[in-house]
A and B are shown apart, each in its own frame.
Chain A
Amino acid sequence: MTAAVAAAGALALVLSGCTSDGGTDGDTAKPVDTDALVTALPAATKDVDSVTWGLVEGEPLSLIPGQDYNFVSPNLCTSLLTLNGDFTAAPGIAEKADWVNPVTFQIDLRDGVKFWDGNPVTPEDVVYSLTRHWKDVTDAFYGAFVFVKSISITGDNQVTVSFTAPDSTFRDAMTGGSGAVLEKAFSEKAGKALGTAAGGVMCAGPYKLDKWTPGQDIVTTANEDYWDGAPKVKTLTYQFISDGATMTNALLSGDVDGAYNVAPSSRATFESAKDGKLYLGPSTSSFSFGPVRDTGLGANIKIRQALNLAIDRQQYIQTVLHGLGYVQSTFVAPFSWSGSPAADTYQKAYDALPEPKVDLEAAKKLVEESGEDTSQPINLGIPAGSKELSQTAAIVQSAAQQIGLTVKIEELQAADFSAIFVDKDARGDLDLISTVGYTETPGVLTYPQLFVLPPEQGGIFNWTGYDKPEVTQLIQSARTATDPQAAAESYVKAQEIFAPDMLQVTLAGAYHTTFLNNRLTGAVTSVASYSTPWAAKLGGK
């Protein structure tokens, strides 16, 4: 069995191009009051003719969910279930989609849902859309379908998915791109061009794709027949602004009305803006670094533990995130389980983990115990052009120096950096890489299994040969548990074992940032905006 879940692509792709400072803040950044975090903005009351949205991640590579992660496709191709801003699931194209027994998942389609071209959404379309992920091992959502035995039409408006084993993660996956529905006839006709500027897509979301001019913009228009009501914004245009400073300027001048993932370094500038506001929402996103091969200093657990003890998290959050983040005790962010019925179990186990703190003496001792030759440098790879990650690397470097380790920073071009995730040779002599990772649907298993499971069982980022049978067994039983509480209990037991091994050294959890012009409201402002039709409720105040 292999599992390439959503985070696989996400880890590689979410290296937002926040490159330079648009702000002038010299003051110490204020910590964020967690009560002030918002998952969605108050409902819009007015129609708006047009809104321009900035994409700091740059131009999408594809609009097919799973081919690329962007904020455009969730407004075009919606899923069987809808994800709320607070990471709870609600009905979507399916009126009901749930387990009817431990190995049978039944999908009852909503009556009268239509694609933009007026054709009804049929069970054939659903089977086609789900099978795309199920049958393609290179698909980013393949991991969600590994236990699937069959996908078949079982009624006029019903699709049934049978499983070889229960899968506690499947329903959550249906709230994201894995559950997105594309029109079969259109998609098959478009062939290879599907999802590109030339081929387009045909879906049932709140916005129709009007025109994608490569390098220029993507224009979408309101789907007046959307099952959940016509959107208030009639034309939503996306512009690609991969430079963080340019984005800040465009937002402040009102040329662009809103954007997600705006640069934390522009926090002060945003907070003093007159015509717009910076909103902070909960996220699963975190900054971390981790090993990329099974030899060298990075592969040694004691060296990673030592580095973990050498880094001052508070200083990190101040410098890199300008206060827009929090200390995170392990690489799975608490927001991942916020919608789960077993949230208490997860939270209790998380709280029991030691909070990272600086202890240089203990760190030096660990370096000594590691038995490694500390005269050799540790090569740390980061993508060129990311201000946050280049600061991260500098902080890791100086922390390492304090405990007698030398870190050499290697900046890689975007394409070379993404190659790290698919090609062993591309990792070369790197020991560690620093990334921003997130999961865009609920669930705690999605992310850690990539690192802790053996590669043939889905641990596609398990590059150090990490192999603890007990962890593997507990993770698998968490996945195949039929009861959320049982799943949580297995998971937290596994976490107790793998957390100290630092397969990722987490530096901080980051809040989801949104900047929005004052005339607008209604958008989803948590990390759910990667999966949910966040613009469906956007509109004027």
Chain B
Amino acid sequence: MRGRALVSLLAKLGGLLLTLFLSSIVIFSALLLTPGDPVATLAGGKRPTPEMIAAIREQFRLDDPIWLRYIDWLGGVLTGNLGESFVYKTPVGELIGPRIGVTLTLVIFAVILIAVFGIGSGILAATRGPKADRAVLLSTSIGMALPTFVMAILLIWIFAKMLGWFPVYGGGTGLLDQIHHLTLPAISLAVVYIAYISRITRASLVGELSSEHVDTARVRGIPRSRIFRSHVFLNASPQILAVSGATIAGLFATSAIAEQAFGINGLGSLLTEAAARKDLPVVQIISLLLVAIFVILNAIADTVNALIDPDSLTSGRNA
């Protein structure tokens, strides 16, 4: 049993690496195939002379075959050399480094909100009778319909402009100030996912509550709270977890919108800007980073699932 689980885990790890490898090929080639000559970007809005164009092509090896450039790039990424930004002419690592922190804080903040309010309201809807169920259903319907940027505008309007409780701009410095600055962005980012997780939680709990073993437990006279903890919630959690993995990865991608609206210098706003400026090396690394986060989070969700329910690994009940 143990051995099989280990083999299975290793297979998963292999799959993870393969996914990352294939993604890196797709990311690298897709961006090279986009229209527009990077020379225009590299010339920095100036009128390049033929000599300048030749120098740029040579320096950034634009005339080498794609596969050679890919191998070079991948080799660089694996050894920590992330390349140089076309626009800033500085190492990509230096651009990304300072921005990861604020995006990470923002995402963690949002995850906490999603976990507390999403799972909390889902439990409420499933266990506190039809009135609570309807109330949660209604609010999650509204929540799901509100895209991040609309939420951002609403929050700025109400809590920053009318009430003046929160700042409207920047990421803040120091932990308390950061929390103060990131509250509105985190809420605007979390709302859609809170609604989503709430629905998932409710659905899986309702399914478990009406299952046979819960009925049996009830008949045996086990207290309700214990039934809920050790039977219902534990059984429902793999499904909730699986969705959560994808949710957190999604948060990294949508953080761009919240970062833009609140003037936060994070990864998302860097990606948006780099894409608009055709800064390929930066776009490539951030895209790869996002894919990696996505794949790794899913793998973590799977592993945690396996710890809760070891059969999931071998029985093919993968989420």
Q: Name A residues whose Cβ lies closer than 8 Å to a Cβ of B.
A: 4, 8-9, 12-13, 58-59, 61-62, 67-68, 137-140, 192-193, 196-198, 213-216, 239-243, 246-247, 249-250, 253, 255-256, 384-385, 413-416, 418-419, 421-423, 425-426, 460
**B129–chain A nearest beta-carbon distance, Å:** 42
Known: A249-B168, A422-B46, A423-B40. A61 touches B263 (CB 8 A): no
Residue of A nearest to B102 (CB): A216
B12 within 8 A of A: no
Question: CB of B169 within 8 A of chain A?
Answer: yes
Q: Contacts A250-B263, A415-B277 hold; do A215 and B44 have CB atoms under 8 A apart?
A: no
Nearest Cβ in chain A — how far from B208, in angstroms? 45
Question: B residues touching A (Cβ–Cβ < 8 Å)?
Answer: 36-37, 40-41, 43-49, 52, 85, 87-90, 94-95, 98-99, 156, 160-161, 167-170, 260-263, 265, 269-270, 273, 275-278
Return chain A residues, CB-CB under 8 Å to B273. 58-59, 242
Given contacts A138-B49, A422-B45, contact A249 B276 (CB under 8 A): no
The docked-state distance in angstroms from the alpha carbon of A99 to that of B7 is: 84
Known: A216-B265, A243-B260, A414-B276. A138 touches B46 (CB 8 A): yes
Chain B residues, Cβ within 8 Å of A243:
260-261, 263
Least CB distance, A12 to chain B, in whole angstroms: 5
Residues of A within 8 A of B261 (CB): 243, 246
Task: Please name all residues of chain A whose beta carbon is closer than 8 Å to the beta carbon of B46 when the two chains form the complex.
Answer: 9, 67, 138-140, 422
Mind listing 8 A-B residue pairs with CB under 8 Å? A61-B87, A192-B89, A193-B89, A214-B90, A214-B94, A215-B269, A422-B43, A426-B40
Q: Given the complex, which residues of A lie within 8 Å of B168, measured CB to CB?
A: 246, 249-250, 253, 255
| Nearest Cβ on chain B to A235's Cβ, whole angstroms | 14
Given that A249-B156, A423-B40 are contacting pairs, would A198 and B45 also be in contact in the complex, using a CB cutoff of 8 Å? no
List residues of chain B with CB within 8 A of the CB of A59.
88, 273
A213 and B98 in contact, given A419-B37, A426-B40 (Cβ under 8 angstroms): yes
**With A9-B46, A12-B45, A249-B156 in contact, do A416 and B36 touch (Cβ < 8 Å)?**
yes
**Chain B residues with CB below 8 A from A216, complex form:** 98-99, 265
- B46 → A minimal CB distance (Å): 5
List residues of chain B with CB within 8 A of the CB of A198: 89-90, 94
CB distance from B161 to the nearest CB of A (A): 8
Check A415/B47 contact, CB under 8 A, given A214-B94, A215-B265, A215-B270: no
- Would you call A8 and B47 a contact (CB within 8 A)? yes
CB <8 Å contact, A250 and B170: yes
Cα distance A426–B156 when bound, in Å? Answer: 39
Q: Is the CB of A414 within 8 A of B277?
A: yes
Interface of B is mostly: loop
Greatest chain A CB density within 10 A among B52, B87, B160 is at B87
**A246-B262 contact in complex given A255-B168, A415-B278, C-beta closer than 8 Å:** yes
- Shortest A455–chain B CB gap in Å is 11
Q: Which residues of the other chain, A, contact B99 by a CB distance below 8 angstroms?
A: 215-216
Chain A contacts of B44 at CB under 8 A?
61-62, 67-68
- The answer to whether A246 and B90 have CB atoms under 8 Å apart is no
Kindly report which residue of chain B lies nearest to residue A197, judged by CB atoms. B90
Find out whether the CB atom of B45 lies under 8 angstroms from the CB atom of A418: yes
- A415–B41 touching, CB < 8 Å: yes
Told that A241-B169, A415-B41 touch, could you supply 9 new A-B pairs with CB distance under 8 A?
A: A58-B273, A59-B273, A196-B88, A196-B89, A197-B88, A215-B95, A215-B265, A249-B161, A255-B168
A415 to B278, CA, bound (A): 6
- Tell me the minimal C-beta distance from B284 to chain A in angstroms: 15
Can you name the residue of chain B whose Cβ is closest to the Cβ of A460?
B47
Assess whether B167 is in contact with A253, with CB atoms less than 8 Å apart: yes
- CB-nearest residue of chain B to A217: B265
Q: Report yes or no: A421 in contact with B45, Cβ–Cβ below 8 A.
A: yes
Report the Cα distance A423→B168, complex, angstroms. 40
B262 to A, closest residue via Cβ: A246
A138 CB contacts on chain B under 8 angstroms: 43, 46-49, 52
Tell me the bound Cα distance from A12 to B43 in angstroms.
13
* Contact partners of B36 in chain A: CB under 8 A: 415-416, 419, 426
Please measure, in the bound complex, the distance between the C-alpha atom of A196 and the C-alpha atom of B156, giving whole angstroms: 35
Least Cβ distance of B97 to chain A in Å?
Answer: 10
- Enumerate chain B residues within 8 angstroms of A240, measured Cβ to Cβ: 265
Output the least CB separation between B120 and chain A (Å).
31
Query: CA of A58 to CA of B90 in the docked complex: distance in angstroms?
Result: 17
CB atoms of A415 and B169 under 8 A apart: no
Evaluate contact between B37 and A423: CB separation under 8 angstroms.
Answer: yes
Q: How far is the CA of A67 from the CA of B43 in the complex (A)?
A: 10
Complex: A256 Cα to B156 Cα, angstroms: 16
Query: Is the beta-carbon distance between B169 and A256 smaller than 8 angstroms?
Result: yes
Most chain-A Cβ atoms within 10 A of its Cβ — which of B36, B85, B94, B269? B36
- Return the chain B residue nearest A4 by Cβ: B47
Nearest B residue to A242 via CB reads: B273
**Whole-angstrom distance between the alpha carbons of A243 and B258 in the complex?**
12
Q: Give the distance to chain B from A437, nearest Cβ to Cβ, in Å.
A: 14
- Cβ A13 vs Cβ B265 within 8 A: no
> What are the residues of chain B within 8 A of A4 when measuring CB–CB?
47
CA distance A25 to B24 in the complex (A): 48
List the B side residues contacting A215 at CB < 8 Å.
95, 98-99, 265, 269-270
8 closest cross-chain pairs (CB), A and B: A250-B169, A419-B40, A415-B278, A249-B168, A246-B263, A255-B169, A414-B276, A138-B46
Q: A193-B89, A213-B98, A215-B265 are in contact. Are A422 and B48 (CB under 8 A)?
A: yes
Assess whether B169 is in contact with A253, with CB atoms less than 8 Å apart.
yes
Residue of B nearest to A250 (CB): B169
Interface centre among A12, A139, A419 (most CB of B within 10 A): A419
